Structure 1
Amino acid sequence: MTDRARRVLVVDDSALVRRWVRHVLEPAGFAIEEALNGIEALEKALGGGFDLIVVDVNMPRMDGMTFLRSLRRQPLPVGGTPALVASTENGPQDREAARRAGANFYLVKPLDEEILRSHVAALAGAPAWTP
């Protein structure tokens, strides 16, 4: 494993959520980039180099599920980038829809800092964070 910072793309239409995720993950050694919606996220993802994408479901222009389906249609390695859905939607049908769209894991907002860090580290292939 290399010592480089793992790159995480955070996709959420809420500036507050993006800022909070950055505040939680940067001290743990992650390099964060942001996108406001699925269209912007897909453009950034096509540039490659992300170790993980954290994506909301409900966003304007292109929602998270549509983004994930579009991402999974891309050739590797872009199409295989791990994705963690973070949403306020909490029903079993929401989790199943995310799984079918290509999510690797699903967390419900409000997010817990420790849980977010541990799942991001596991999915991005980073060592566990210790304060």
Structure 2
Amino acid sequence: MKLNKLVVAAVLLSTLTWIGCGSSGVVKPTDEQNAFASVEGLGDLAGDDAMFASAFVSGAAPKNRKDYGERGYQVNGDPTFDGDTVTVPVKIFGGVHATASGDGRGGKASSVAETEQVWTLQRIDGQWKIKDAPLG
């Protein structure tokens, strides 16, 4: 009888531990975080034609990809969501090393003046894509 109680207690403890560990600890990013990532990672994506184009709504990628690679981007305020569209205030700054030449060597630091623009993103198939991204 003692053995059965011990087995039941072990199974119960095991089950409670398993239930208590049901949370994987992985936090799913919010819409806001996903939209911000689309903006703030753009400078890195500008080093490759295909990756740069994939950050934008189809047909909306600017022709001056190199200019985007010479700048850094930071969301600088609250986004305004309207369904599958969001407008985001973006601080655009220079001082980053241009890598858009594709030769693998870092270029000299950009001396572009800091500015702020409002960019528009659109959610397509669950992913935020840039629709309009003026540099200034």
Taking structure 1 as the reference length, what is the TM-score of the superposition?
Answer: 0.25
| Largest Rg, 1 or 2 | 2
More helix by proportion, 1 or 2? 1
